[in-house]
Amino acid sequence: MNSRVVAARVLLRVVYQGESLTDALQRPTVCALAQRDQAWVRNVCFGSTRWHGRLGAVLRQLLAKPLKKADKDIECLLRIGLYQLIYQHTPDHAAVNETVTAARKLKKVWASRLINAVLRGFLRQKEAILEEIDQFETARYSFPPWLSERLKQAWPDHWQSIMEASNTQAPMVLRVNRRVYSRDDYLTVLHTAGVSATAVEYIDSGIMLEQAVPVYDLPGFSEGAVSVQDGAAQLAAALLPCEPGHRVLDACAAPGGKTCHLLERYDGLELVALDSSERRLELVKENLARLKLSASVVTGNATSLEGWWDGQLFDRILLDAPCSATGVIRRHP
Each residue's pLDDT tens digit, 54-66: 999 999 999 999 8
Residues 268 and 244: beta-carbon distance below 8 Å: yes
- List Cα–Cα distances, 293 to 185, 216, 224, 263, 315, in angstroms: 21, 19, 9, 7, 20
Each residue's pLDDT tens digit, 266-279: 999 999 999 999 98
How far does Cα 308 stand from its chain's mean position? 30
pLDDT at position 214, please? 82
Q: Report which of residues 61 and 330 the model is more confident about.
A: 61
Question: Could you tell me the pLDDT band of residue 36, with boundaries at 50, 70 and 90?
Answer: confident
Q: Where are the beta strands (DSSP E) in the chain?
A: 173-176, 197-199, 206-209, 226-228, 247-250, 270-275, 296-299, 316-318
Asked if residue 213 has pLDDT above 90, the reply is no
Asked if residue 308 has pLDDT above 80, the reply is yes
pLDDT at position 1, please? 74
Q: Which of 257, 262, 265 is nearest to 287 (CA)?
A: 257
pLDDT at position 199, please? 97
Cα radius of gyration rounded to whole Å, the chain: 22
Question: Could you tell me the pLDDT band of residue 73, with boundaries at 50, 70 and 90?
Answer: very high
pLDDT at position 201, please? 94
User: One-letter amino acid identity for 31?
Assistant: C
d(CA 114, CA 108): 10
Asked if omega into 255 is within 30° of 0 (cis), the reply is yes
Show the domains of the chain with their CATH numbers: 3-135 (1.10.940.10), 173-233 (3.30.70.1170), 240-328 (3.40.50.150)
pLDDT at position 325, please? 79
Asked if residue 226 has pLDDT above 90, the reply is yes
